[in-house]
Amino acid sequence: MKTSHDLDSDIAEHETRERLLRRVQKFIDKWSTKLGVEPPGEVRIRRMKTFWASIEDRRRGGRIWINRALADASDKVLEYTVVHELIHLRTRGHSETFCKLMGEALPDWRARKSAAFDLGMKLKTNGWPRR
Ligand SMILES: [Zn+2]
């Protein structure tokens, strides 16, 4: 049986995920129009240790998967992550085309990318969210 402490942390976790969903959705709304891509049909949050996010094209379900750990990310890092994934709807991989599109969308994307890397290193040291 769950204790009241468990229930409190369930609620806190739910709120954390809801807040992250809303932040992600805001960036999706803003950038899918700008990038001329169809917005993902669904945003899913999950724990991942190897990447920040991934995206499926429509034929594969049209979902965007967001790492739960991004709840601790700044807007700059979160926006970079969302834009990165949306650009993958236009081009696969991290080719020159990808970098060009990233640069047009977010001129400071390389700094944001390294901030995302720093967050990853911090989590590696301090521990990733356990749920
Ligand atoms: Zn990528």
3-state secondary structure 62-115: CEEEEEHHHHHCCHHHHHHHHHHHHHCCCCCCCCHHHHHHHHHHCCCHHHHHHH
* CA 80 / ligand 1 centre spacing (Å): 11
pLDDT in tens, the chain (131 residues): 778 888 888 899 999 999 999 999 999 999 999 999 999 999 999 998 888 999 998 888 899 999 999 999 999 999 999 999 999 999 999 999 999 999 999 999 999 999 999 999 998 888 777 76
* CA 86 / ligand 1 centre spacing (Å): 9
* CA 1 / ligand 1 centre spacing (Å): 42
pTM: 0.92
* CA 96 / ligand 1 centre spacing (Å): 12
Structural domains in the chain? 4-126 (3.30.2010.10)
